[in-house]
A and B are shown apart, each in its own frame.
Chain A
Amino acid sequence: MDFEAVIGLEVHAELATTAKIFCGCSTKYGAGPNTQTCPVCLGLPGTLPVLNEKVVEYCIRAGLALNCRIAGYSKLDRKNYFYPDLPKAYQISQYDLPLCRDGFLPLASGKTIRITRIHIEEDAGKLIHSAEEERYSLVDYNRTGVPLIEIVTAPDLATPEEAVEFLEKLRRILMYLGISDCKMEEGSLRCDANISLKPAGTPQLGTKTELKNINSFKALGRALAYEIERQSELLMEGKAVKQETRKWEEAKQRTLPLRSKEETQDYRYFPDPDLVPIELDPAYVAEIAASLPELPEAKKRRLIEEYHLPEYDADLITGSKHLADFFEAVLKHYFSPKAASNWIMGELLRLMGEAGLTPEDLTVNPAHLGDLLRRIDQGEISVSQGKNVFERVFRTGASPEEIIEAEGIRQISDEAWLRTVVAQVLKDNPQSVGDYLGGKTKAAQFLTGQVMRVTKGQANPQVIKVLLAQELAKVRKKTEETAGLARENKDL
């Protein structure tokens, strides 16, 4: 029997506010344990939480970008459970009146994934489990009270690939909105997945499992693929899938059940009496809507239409708002879209990759790349010289002009002089010339290399190509004439 997967995602994104959701503690990542806590986020008796206005704004931004309805009236609720990472023994979250509802996000295929809701809540602390034999956990409450949005999709995803595409698109949007840095490795973007199988073509839903501990896009795809395999094996054997929470084990590439409690967890939600309701003025929501940046999909379309970029280029460049902004800034200095795109996708991304930089860390002055492209187009320097110059621009921040002057880089296009160089190289390398005339066209590359060596890399490769072809043709003609003469002599 064939099965179809039914997948829904719950995505948590830490919001990029400077202070926590209900107090003034810093949200900065990486501080020493328990150095960013106060009586409010520690849940000490007698303290009162006050909602950070930026959290509401950021959640509305996400909601608008994901085509949600924004609630006119919303409130915060307590979700009760005991766990050492939660000092109050409840998490402030939103239950029945989330800020955003009923949105959607289209995939590349045109299929639309519904977004059920987006709500705000506080993050919990971090537990560090000791080695088994020592039997304790260390608790760091710095993360307690860091604002989160939770984005819940309808079970509209049918394959691991769709789930990964959705999460990538979502991440791109959240980063464009500037509301989260979405670093999966630092836990500022987290994803749980619900998955069940059903016989292909039937509407009836199977029993689902919930997958946790998914720490990368790759892990999401693999955990879902593993779970599809595991559940279909069970079903084929006529066994039932157990409704449970399972943990993705990266090292072993498998999911394992988390120890399930006998009682089903009951969070006993109720409105938090410490926090007053949120009533949103439509004018305020409209103001936020007007302030939204151009979103990735729209930007991609525009790059294709306005600059005639191939879809591949546009997709890669709009992968990051920083990169797309950089691209357009380069064009302001020198308008050559395809060249700019090629240099960004090739040289720039390669150098950034080698330096371990993300687009957010990009410090290259776009004017410098624009200037470099102009110099190459004007024949002042060659493409390969340009690559060397750009590498130095990237590393030092100096301008192409400074580098070109300091290193005496120039391109020689003087045909008369280059022709003598080419003729000399041919004379010095009779073996390669013979190979070339014998049909080994690769020998031309060696000869070009020799010309470059003699000219210290400054010869214009385009001119060399033409001259080399002309000079080799001359040699060929001469050899043929000599051979013809020899034949005639023999015949005589």
Chain B
Amino acid sequence: MIVSEEKVRQVAELARLAFSEAELRNLAGEFNRILQAFAKLNEVDTTGVPPTAHVLKVKNRFRADQVKPSLPRADVLKNASAVKDGSFVAPPVME
């Protein structure tokens, strides 16, 4: 058992997901099967092999520092559930 139900609950909370006890149990089982499969990779000797950050052979893709038109505000706010003073309205967040 690599991942406990408690760990799954914690990750779910960080991801703002709610699960029933049964679901948590199931997920923990699935996680463990997946992780065990990946654990096989640990058997490969990677001495001297640099970690891979990206699988593509592409690098250094940049854009020039040039301003392009932004979206009209009406479009930006079109899908918002609530709008006030040109802004999205979000549930209160206290710092």
What is the interface of chain A, defined by CB distance below 8 A to chain B?
17-19, 23-26, 32-39, 42, 50-56, 75, 80-84, 97, 127-130, 135-141, 247, 258-259, 263, 266, 268, 271, 273, 275-279
Contact = CB atoms under 8 A, between A and B. Distances in A.
A51 B10 CA distance: 33
Contacts of B58: 276
B87 A138 contact: yes
B65 interface: yes
Contacts of A53: 62-65
Contact of B63 (A51, A84, A135, A277): A51
A19 B61 contact: no
Contacts of A277: 53-54, 59-60
Interface of B: 10, 13-16, 53-54, 56, 58-71, 73, 76-77, 82, 84-95
A25 B69 CA distance: 7
28 contacts: A18-B65, A19-B66, A33-B85, A33-B87, A34-B86, A35-B70, A38-B70, A50-B63, A51-B62, A51-B63, A52-B62, A53-B62, A56-B62, A82-B14, A83-B93, A130-B92, A136-B92, A138-B84, A138-B85, A138-B87, A140-B87, A141-B76, A141-B88, A268-B14, A271-B53, A276-B59, A277-B54, A277-B60
A127 B71 CA distance: 20
B73 A32 contact: yes
Contacts, number: 138
Nearest to A23: B68
A24 B90 CA distance: 26
Contacts of A17: 65
Given A38-B70, A75-B54, A24 B85 contact: no
Contacts of B87: 33-34, 128, 138-140
A35 B65 contact: no
Nearest to A80: B14
Given A259-B94, A273-B54, A19 B14 contact: no
Contact of B76 (A42, A56, A97): A42
A128 to B, nearest CB: 7
B59 A247 contact: no
Contacts of A135: 91-92
Contacts of B16: 82
Contacts of A80: 14
Contacts of A19: 63, 65-68
A25 B67 contact: yes
Contact of A37 (B68, B71, B92): B71
User: Binding site of A, secondary structure by majority: helix, strand, loop or mixed?
Assistant: loop
Given A19-B65, A37-B70, A279 B60 contact: yes
User: Binding site of B, secondary structure by majority: helix, strand, loop or mixed?
Assistant: loop
B88 A24 contact: no
Given A75-B53, A276-B56, 17 more contacts: A24-B63, A34-B77, A34-B86, A35-B86, A39-B71, A52-B63, A75-B54, A128-B87, A129-B92, A130-B92, A136-B84, A138-B84, A139-B89, A258-B95, A263-B10, A276-B54, A278-B60
B89 A138 contact: yes
A228 B73 CA distance: 47
A247 B58 CA distance: 43
Nearest to B94: A259
Contacts of B71: 37-39, 42
B2 to A, nearest CB: 16
Contacts of B91: 84, 135-137
Contacts of A83: 93
Contacts of A84: 88, 90-91, 93
Contacts of B56: 276
Contacts of A266: 10, 14
Contacts of B60: 276-279
A235 B68 CA distance: 55
Contacts of B88: 34, 84, 138-139, 141
Contacts of A268: 14
A488 B4 CA distance: 121
B77 to A, nearest CB: 6
A52 B70 CA distance: 16
B90 A263 contact: no
A301 B31 CA distance: 62
A136 B88 CA distance: 10
A53 B66 CA distance: 10
A335 B85 CA distance: 56
A51 B53 CA distance: 17
B94 A129 contact: yes
